[in-house]
Amino acid sequence: MGMTFEEKGAYIELLMLQFNRGHMTSHMIGQTVGQLWVKVEDKFVKDADGLWYNVRLEEEKIKRSNFVSSRINNKLGKNQYNNSTKKERGHMTSHMEDENKDVIKIEYKDNVNLFKKEYDTLLEKYGKTATDWMIDKLGNYKLSKGKKYKSDYGAINTWVVDEAKKKKIIKQQVLEY
């Protein structure tokens, strides 16, 4: 038959005590669970020093300690696969290059900076007149509000294009099926 709620509580209290303090004296056990020790005593064994402990919890503590040590070794680079002499920066390996590394943004209007490729894409998609209008619109907005964008190209492709469509600078595309 199983344990009562009171016995389960005493058993868990002793497991927590062992986890936090190690092997336990009879006095520690008596202070923690009192008379209930008699009912849960069979779940514990005595070590060579006469201290009580739960075998399964001891095994789990050792497993956990070994796992934590292995994670620390991995972080420090002391595992068996440590044959790399050069540390890579970030998650990109040396053979992966950033295609925009040497490309410089060009200032097309006060405060509007685009890569040449981005500008060419806008020209191809919307034409010279609409592209110039959108760059002016974004530049004026940024100057008047003191706003900064991570990507001016991204700003143009979202709200500036919407404004251009509202003002009919860009024709709405009608999809035909």
Domain residue ranges of the chain, discontinuous segments joined by +: 5-76, 106-166
pLDDT at position 143, please?
86
Taking residue 96's Cβ as centre, other Cβ atoms within 10 Å add up to 10
pLDDT at position 79, please?
65
> Token digits for 138?
């974004």
Give CA separation, 24 vs 12, 40, 65, 109, in Å: 14, 14, 20, 76
For the chain of 177 residues, list the mean pLDDT of each consecutive stretch of 10.
91 95 94 94 95 95 92 78 57 59 76 89 89 90 86 88 85 55
* Chain position carrying tokens 């540390």: 87
Dihedral pair phi/psi, residue 110, rounded to 5°? -50, 120
Residues 14 and 126: their CA atoms lie apart, in Å, by 74
> Token digits for 128?
């010279």
Residue 133's contacts (CB-CB under 8 Å, 6 or more residues apart) are 164, 169
pLDDT at position 95, please?
59
- What dihedral do alpha carbons 85, 90, 94, 95 form, nearest 10°? 140
State in Å, rounded, how far the first CA of the chain is from the last one.
73
Q: Which helix (H) or strand (E) holds 109?
A: strand 106-109
> Token digits for 127?
């034409």
